Amino acid sequence: MTTPAPTVLARDLTMTFGRTRALDGVSFELVPGVTGLLGPNGAGKTTLLRVLATVSAPDSGSVHALGLDPRHTDQRLDMRGRLGYMPQEPGFHARFTAFEFVDYVAILKELHQRRARHQEVRRVLELVGLGAVRGKQIKALSGGMRRRVALAQALLGDPDLLVLDEPIAGLDPEQRLRFRELVSQLGEGRTVLLSTHQTEDVVALAQQVLVLHLGRLRFVGTPLELAGLARGHVWQSQERDPGALAAWRTGTGQHRNIGNPPPGADLLEPTLEDGYLLLLGGDQVQEAAA
Amino acid sequence: MTTAIEHDDRSPAAGSPGGVPAGARSRRSMLALAAVESGRLLRHPAVLAATALSVWLLWRWGRGTAPVLHYADIATQVPLAPLAGAALLATNLAVLRPHRDGAVDLYGATRLSLARRTLAHLLSVLPLVALGGILVVADLAWLASMPGSVGTPHLAEAATGLALIALGGCLGVLLGRLVRSVALAPLVLVALAFGSLTLAELQIGGHDQRPWTWLGTLLRAPPFDPPPAALLGRPATWHLVYLLGIGVALAALALWRSLAQARARRRAQVAAAMVLVAALAATAAAAVVQTRPTSSALAERRLAVVRNPAAELVCQRRGPANYCVFAGFEPQIDLWEPTVRAVVAAVPPAAAARALPVTVAHRVGLHRLIDEDVNLGVQEGQGPSGPMVAPVGTAWGRDGPLFELAHARLAASVAARLVAPTRGDGEEPQWTPCNAQAVVALWLGGQASPQAAEGISQAVTDPFSEILVFSHDPVLDDPQWGVRAGRFALTLLDRPRDQVTQTLWRNWDLVTAPETTIERLGEVLGMQPPSGADC
């Protein structure tokens, strides 16, 4: 099996806000499919997504997406025409109806022919299951519906690259399931970069994972590889192991510990979350030791 | 520190799905955005409220004024000011929408440039300007359809209100591009409204006396009876150029700001800057021209008209009166004629035959446009046109206080000429404003129409008047009346008309004699006159 050609190439991205380094030499490649971007609050996820969406320019480093370099205005425009961006806070115009809002964004995306644009707006609203409420004002929609409106506008023009900033945050389980289903379909044939706090979303959707922490890329690989980082570092015990980096009581009444197990520990099969926690926790341990 | 990336318009090489070049696609998208924004602008609550207010003001203004179209066009400007204010607020809110709602990131990932979006917001004001145009055209058409309508609207005067709306919209867009706060536009609007209204109040005395007031925006028509258009001398065209110049300058500045924010190509920025400079130059030139003093020729012509209006009037005989009006105002005679006929009908035929024909002469307050230090050659209370004139103005509408006062002014003046005719060529009429003669004349005036009677009542009950007048311009040669005589006339007007008519007609020579007192008139009528001094 051959590896598909990368659609996004990021090299040594650096971005600073005052004294804070939001991105610190970040390099990665994305291929078609869903890529999960994990990281705690303040890790730099939104900054990275804004750079990929051409909203911000990095202080240094480069991004090439879909064969285009956004440093050149013509190519940046082309790139914007081929990407869909769902910001963490889309900034809804509450008095617009769902249709009017998506139509407005469609105009900003230069879908200029009225009839074709309206068809496209109806298509994306149907795609996210909002066809029946397209005439409702956004302020009258539930939080989950608003997230779907935000996703709908990102889908305008059937983009090749989708950049979704925490699209599943705040949704109830049923809505999350629908969202996963939709994002999974979208990931077939196009590149989707999805940031989230939720490791289970990454497990469910992503073929590739990026872990960002304090502006640095800590991991690039598959979900299995991320989980594999914790192999031999997860064990269960009756009591919380004081030597563990993290430990919690599970539904079985046993404690699940992550860290360096004591000799003879009852090792468990690691999950992606274990790998993620170990990655971040290990870093914290090293920092403390230093 | 990094900034959000915007972009300028780019070459046709940029993505052009559907075979449409990128430039054309961007232009069409901008027009689509302008259409959406204009729709939202027209539905904005502030615009809806302002439209209702403007319609009401136009109706209110038109209701109380004469249909003199070269004056009514000026009166369309202030009523459109609410729409201009609403345009300022609504466009500002529209420009700031992504900032207000936190959608800057979302907009930043789209293709349409900041400059195109700014242009779309500027273009979105045009339908609102068109709405203002519809209101102005409808108002002037309504006035033109009224009986007695005269004059022709001046295109520049009629377009000035529309320029104000455009100006408000451009200012709203510019403020939105300069400051990301919704608090600024209302503050600017309040400051502009205060400044404009102050200038307008200073201006209504006539632009000749304070030419610099033309640097303001709202320029009300001076509150006197409209004179012929040629004597107005308002620099309307230059004022329109001045306003449009400011509007284009504001638009160019907003565009230049957008291009600069987006770090657009220098060529585009230079083009916007050049438009800005050209607009400022046109504005400055128009400002200089519009504030020039009145030409000496016009000033002399006005003075001549004030000193000897008869020379400018054309006269025609209709029934019991000679009507002398400024050329072009002949259709208004039809408005005045029923009043004159009604007054004449209330006088004994023999007495009327002695007094007729009465001359009804057109009077306007043109002296207000003449510099204060110029000697008009007119004594206060003594008009320049001779004694045998019943003055009539052009403040003639359908109803309302102005109309009633105008009716009363004409009816009472005609009646005064009928009860105090001259006895021979060149002889002054023996008019005594504080005796029975004045009471009889006011009563006769009140017979002309309910509006005339109401106007007399208004003038008599005016608490600020020490003497009874229907026009506050001393040079307009209106007769004056004692307040006591007015109060007595009001009492008389409440009594049955036939009964009073019979008594007055039987004693006509006595009650119209200059020496007959109000007490004597009371005895004749069997009434107690009101107390107080005669004058």
pLDDT of B428 above 60 = yes
**More confident: B477 or A71:** A71
CB contact under 8 A, A77 and B2: no
CB contact under 8 A, A91 and B101: yes
Of A169-178, B366-375, B429-438, the range with the lowest mean pLDDT is B366-375
Q: Residue A153: closest CA among chain B residues belongs to which residue? A: B106
Confidence of residue A216 (pLDDT cuts 50, 70, 90): very high
Query: Residues in chain B whose beta carbon is closer than 8 A to a beta carbon of chain A?
Result: 1-5, 7-8, 10-11, 13-15, 17-18, 20, 22, 25-26, 28-29, 32-33, 36, 97-98, 101-112, 117
Among A15, A91, A117, the residue with its CB nearest the CB of B102 is A91
pTM beyond 0.95: no
CB contact under 8 A, A94 and B29: no
Compute the average pLDDT of residues B191-199.
Answer: 85
CB contact under 8 A, A70 and B103: no
Confidence of residue B13 (pLDDT cuts 50, 70, 90): very low
Confidence of residue A121 (pLDDT cuts 50, 70, 90): very high
Residues of chain B in contact with residue A117, where contact means CB-CB under 8 angstroms, are: 32
CB contact under 8 A, A57 and B2: yes
Contacts of B361 (CB under 8 A, 6+ apart): B309, B310, B313, B324, B325, B385, B389, B390, B391, B392
pLDDT digits over B481-535, tens only? 788 888 889 899 988 888 889 999 999 889 888 888 888 988 988 888 887 765 6
Among A17, A78, A82, the residue with its CB nearest the CB of B1 is A17
Q: What percent of chain B has pLDDT over 70?
A: 81
Strands B313-318 and A266-267: unpaired
pLDDT at A68: 94
Quick one: which H or E segment has residue B350? helix B349-355
Among A53, A92, A153, the residue with its CB nearest the CB of B101 is A92
For residue A191, give the nearest of A51, A5, A40, A55 by alpha carbon: A5
pLDDT at B383: 43
Q: Which amino acid is at A233?
A: H
Q: Compute the nearest-CA separation of A117 from chain B (Å).
A: 11
Q: Compute the nearest-CA separation of B264 from chain A (Å).
A: 10
Confidence of residue B244 (pLDDT cuts 50, 70, 90): very high
pLDDT of B225 above 80 = no
Of A77-81, B47-51, B248-252, the range with the lowest mean pLDDT is A77-81
Q: Three-class SS of residue A195? A: strand
Q: Three-class SS of residue A267? A: strand
**More confident: B205 or B272:** B272
Most A CBs within 10 Å: which of B20, B43, B106, as the mutation test of the A interface? B106
Helix B518-525 vs helix B483-493: angle between axes, to the nearest 10 degrees? Answer: 10
Contacts across the A-B interface (CB distance below 8 Å): 114
Residues of chain B in contact with residue A18, where contact means CB-CB under 8 angstroms, are: 1
Radius of gyration, alpha carbons of chain B: 30
What does DSSP assign to residue B43?
Answer: T
Compute the average pLDDT of residues A31-37.
Answer: 94
Of A16-30, A129-143, B362-376, B453-467, the range with the lowest mean pLDDT is B362-376
Q: For CA atoms B60, B66, B72, B77, give the dihedral sign.
A: negative
pLDDT digits over B53-103, tens only? 999 999 887 765 668 898 889 889 989 999 999 999 999 999 999 999 999
Q: Which amino acid is at B381?
A: G
pLDDT at B216: 80
Residues of chain B in contact with residue A15, where contact means CB-CB under 8 angstroms, are: 2
CB contact under 8 A, B26 and A82: no
The reply to whether A94 touches chain B by the CB within 8 Å rule is yes
Compute the average pLDDT of residues B441-470.
Answer: 81
Q: What percent of chain A has pLDDT over 90?
A: 63
Determine the length of chain A. 290
pLDDT at B417: 84
The reply to whether A19 touches chain B by the CB within 8 Å rule is no
Compute the average pLDDT of residues B335-344.
Answer: 90
The number of helix segments (H) and strand segments (E) in chain B equals: 23, 4
**Alpha carbons A81 and B15: distance in angstroms, whole number:** 7
pLDDT at A70: 93
pLDDT of A9 above 70 = yes
Q: Compute the nearest-CA separation of A269 from chain B (Å).
A: 41
Question: In B298-311, which positions are buried (b, 16+ CB within 10 angstroms) versus exposed (e)?
Answer: bbebbbebbbebee
Q: HSE on the CB side for A170, CA within 13 Å?
A: 12
pLDDT of B222 above 50 = yes
- State chain A's mean pLDDT as an integer: 90
Residues of chain A in contact with residue B103, where contact means CB-CB under 8 angstroms, are: 90-93
* Residue found under tokens 């229907």: B470
Q: What percent of chain A has pLDDT over 70?
A: 96
Neighbours of B440 (CB within 10 A): 29
Most B CBs within 10 Å: which of A80, A110, A153, A166, as the mutation test of the B interface? A110
Most A CBs within 10 Å: which of B31, B107, B111, as the mutation test of the A interface? B111
The reply to whether A89 touches chain B by the CB within 8 Å rule is yes
pLDDT at B364: 74
**Alpha carbons B363 and B329: distance in angstroms, whole number:** 11
Residues of chain A in contact with residue B104, where contact means CB-CB under 8 angstroms, are: 91
Residues of chain B in contact with residue A114, where contact means CB-CB under 8 angstroms, are: 32
Among A15, A76, A100, the residue with its CB nearest the CB of B7 is A76
Tokens representing B183? 């608090």
Q: Residue B31: closest CA among chain A residues belongs to which residue? A: A112
Tokens representing B293? 């003093």
pLDDT at A13: 96
Among B32, B103, B112, the residue with its CB nearest the CB of A114 is B32
Residues of chain B in contact with residue A104, where contact means CB-CB under 8 angstroms, are: 33, 36
Residues of chain B in contact with residue A107, where contact means CB-CB under 8 angstroms, are: 29, 32-33, 36, 112
Neighbours of B384 (CB within 10 A): 19
Residues of chain A in contact with residue B36, where contact means CB-CB under 8 angstroms, are: 100, 103-104, 107
Among B11, B14, B101, the residue with its CB nearest the CB of A93 is B101
The reply to whether A103 touches chain B by the CB within 8 Å rule is yes
Q: Residue B99: closest CA among chain A residues belongs to which residue? A: A91
pLDDT of B207 above 50 = no
Residues of chain B in contact with residue A161, where contact means CB-CB under 8 angstroms, are: none
pLDDT at B8: 45
Residues of chain A in contact with residue B14, where contact means CB-CB under 8 angstroms, are: 74, 77-78
Among B18, B32, B106, the residue with its CB nearest the CB of A107 is B32
Compute the average pLDDT of residues A261-266.
Answer: 90
CB contact under 8 A, B106 and A153: yes
Among B15, B97, B98, the residue with its CB nearest the CB of A77 is B15
- State chain B's mean pLDDT as an integer: 83
pLDDT at B384: 40
Cis check for the bond before B357: say yes or no (omega within 30 of 0). yes
pLDDT at B210: 66
pLDDT at A247: 86
pLDDT at B379: 45
**Alpha carbons B77 and A89: distance in angstroms, whole number:** 44
